[in-house]
Structure 1
Amino acid sequence: MQAAQLRQFIYAGIVGDAFGVPVEFKARGTYQVTQMTGNGTWDQPRGSWSDDSAMTLALIDNLTTDGNYADLFEKFQAYMMWGAYTPRDVMFDIGKTCAHAIRNRFINQLPPTACGDASEFANGNGALMRLAPLAVVLQAEPDLTTRLQVTADYTKLTHRHPRAILGSYLYLECLHAMLNGASLAEALVQVSASLSLTLRHAPDVLAEWSYYAPYLTPTIGTWSVDQIKSTAYVVDTFGAALWCTAKAQSIREAIVLAANLGGDTDTIATIAASWTAIRYPLQAVPAEWQAELLNHELLNKLIEPFVTKYADK
């Protein structure tokens, strides 16, 4: 990925997040948003991003500096306790499962990949929301087994149930296929085939396949919005973000679609915007929305070294 494209990929997710923050948890059909707004659900200024982007930025920082999983947890703790990686040094949102994992690490002293909750009732989207940059790092890795192991480990930091792990596999493997030239439709077919075969060696993960299978169709973009659920449940978030990506003809449209679904709008918009930026690599994030993000100094400080390190030379 060229530097400009990589930069837009990262910014797309952050813009999507900030766009969705003010309308998070609102009921679908009770509002309509077409431009960046402020206040709303969390009473934050326009251009504020949430835990989605803060934890993504922590991952970017860790990948840039070759940090390990323990180092990443230090960054997650800095976010939760002191507002690191936020636009105003204020942490206003963190998921219960992510917070529990951070406490597992620093209070219970668990190994990093044992900190995530393995309960079926802890299948939120708190891992899926932050993993997009990992697809860039793994783009040149040809071995599927290696990619899946890395993806699983990063997911398990906060979410250890096989359903959450499978969601991360599907998302990052679709991004991997698209980064290597596949269309969205081709990626869905390729990933379904490769994972269903490879995961025979991981029956606990394969057993979760039926939860995602309905969404893994190249025609998902033709579905009615009434067929899409937009909760923080990882399967719903995956399906909603994929629907926005398949339906949208631009990054702008994907963000607007996601933000107007109601429910977990910031996370769905984050993932949909990131995914759509890969689908349309020559498109730019709407300049006026990117300009409205807060704390460009912090964003540049974290994003530019990552771009320098991982963009195609």
Structure 2
Amino acid sequence: MLDLKNILYAAVVGDALGVPVEFAKRDTYYVDKMIGNGTWEKAPGSWSDDTSFTLPLMENLVEHGNYEQLMQKFEDYMFRNKYTPDGQAFGIGQGCAKSIRNWSINHYPALECGDPSVYANGNGALMRLAPLAIHLRNVEQTKYRLELTRNHTCLTHRHPRSVMASFIYLEILHFLLNGENLTEILQKLPDHLKNNLQNYPEELNEFKKFSAIFQHGFKQTNREDIKSTGYVVDTLHACLWCVLNTDSIDEAILLAVNLGDDTDTVASITASLASCLHQNDCVNPEWVGQLRNKKLLDKIIDQFVEMEIKNSD
């Protein structure tokens, strides 16, 4: 049986392992356990905005909330420190922060809050969307999955490149969650997306930015050629490379954390991919036990998992 809790906790673990070394230069450190201090001077097990944006999404899905209600939850995080490990929001990216200000201060409709600029293609949408893939795992209508993926992305990132990144990521997760082989998924995904994105010409035009992922031999790309920045194209490349070059969830997370730069987000997304791929593996329970504010994590994750199990019955 699919262990949804393991998938969701793996992402939080990846986030927390990466927090102390976020923005650090590659190979100036090595992480193989939960540590503290570092970049943000936080206690070991502290998770960042990656998880703090993911928790409201799960909660909103449980509550059958709309996009406006989800933006309210994002505002509660940024301005009122909800959904945090220790009562303090930190590390919020510029794109996400701008979108929340657009909703809270400028009163934009939720689906127009994301920045449409080509210079606003950070990974702040990608980092929170794994629960949406879980929620849609039994939905066979591809176009419906793509519509919800686009809408949830546009809350914070509206450029077609960011939307295409979400399309690729969530469709990969969808097929992994349904037991398919990652190599085979990558082989079929270009045609799958092109056949289902006829109504999204701008997004489809951005597909070429991600073409390296689908090339034969991508797995063999040299580590020095893998960029682990917050740019959404770099992030997706790095995460898939980490998963392709490891055989377990923990291995994939540590490979990602030690790439440097945007360590928390790259490790969190990598963890989601790896845990959906290696469904018989479990993320290190010691790391899970070291996570801060476990009470909040347990509450939201348990409610989400309970709903998903009920919906599958």
TM-score norm. by structure 2 comes to 0.97
**Superposed CA RMSD:** 1.1
**Aligned equivalent of 1:183, options 160, 181, 184:** 181
Does the CA-based 8 Å contact 1:245-1:272 persist in structure 2?
yes
Does the CA-based 8 Å contact 1:230-1:265 persist in structure 2?
yes
Unaligned runs of 5+ in 1: none
The equivalent residue for 2:18 is: 20
What is the Cα deviation at residue 218 of structure 1? 6.0
Residues of 1 paired with 2:179 and 2:286: CA distance?
Answer: 29
The equivalent residue for 2:40 is: 42
What is the Cα deviation at residue 222 of structure 1? 2.2
**Runs of 4+ more than 3 Å apart:** none
- Any idea what the Cα deviations from partners look like across 1:16-74, whole Å, max 9, x if unmatched? 00000000000111111111111100000000000000100111111111111011111
What is the Cα deviation at residue 200 of structure 1? 3.4
Unaligned runs of 5+ in 2: none
Letter in 1 for 2:7: F
Residues of 1 paired with 2:184 and 2:174: CA distance?
Answer: 12
SS of 1:104 mapped into structure 2: helix
The equivalent residue for 1:241 is: 239
TM-score norm. by structure 1 comes to 0.97
Does the CA-based 8 Å contact 1:21-1:265 persist in structure 2?
yes
- Any idea what the Cα deviations from partners look like across 1:140-196, whole Å, max 9, x if unmatched? 111111111100000000000000000000000001111112111111122221102
The equivalent residue for 1:201 is: 199
Residues of 2 paired with 1:185 and 1:217: CA distance?
Answer: 11
Percent identity at matched positions? 47
The equivalent residue for 1:98 is: 96
Does the CA-based 8 Å contact 1:188-1:218 persist in structure 2?
no
Residues of 2 paired with 1:140 and 1:194: CA distance?
Answer: 17
The equivalent residue for 1:306 is: 304
* 1:160-309 paired onto structure 2 within 5 Å: 160-217=158-215, 219-309=217-307
The number of aligned residues is: 311
The equivalent residue for 1:146 is: 144
Residues of 2 paired with 1:100 and 1:175: CA distance?
Answer: 28
Letter in 2 for 1:222: Q
Residues of 1 paired with 2:38 and 2:66: CA distance?
Answer: 37
Does the CA-based 8 Å contact 1:62-1:71 persist in structure 2?
yes
Does the CA-based 8 Å contact 1:19-1:36 persist in structure 2?
yes
Residues of 1 paired with 2:268 and 2:116: CA distance?
Answer: 24
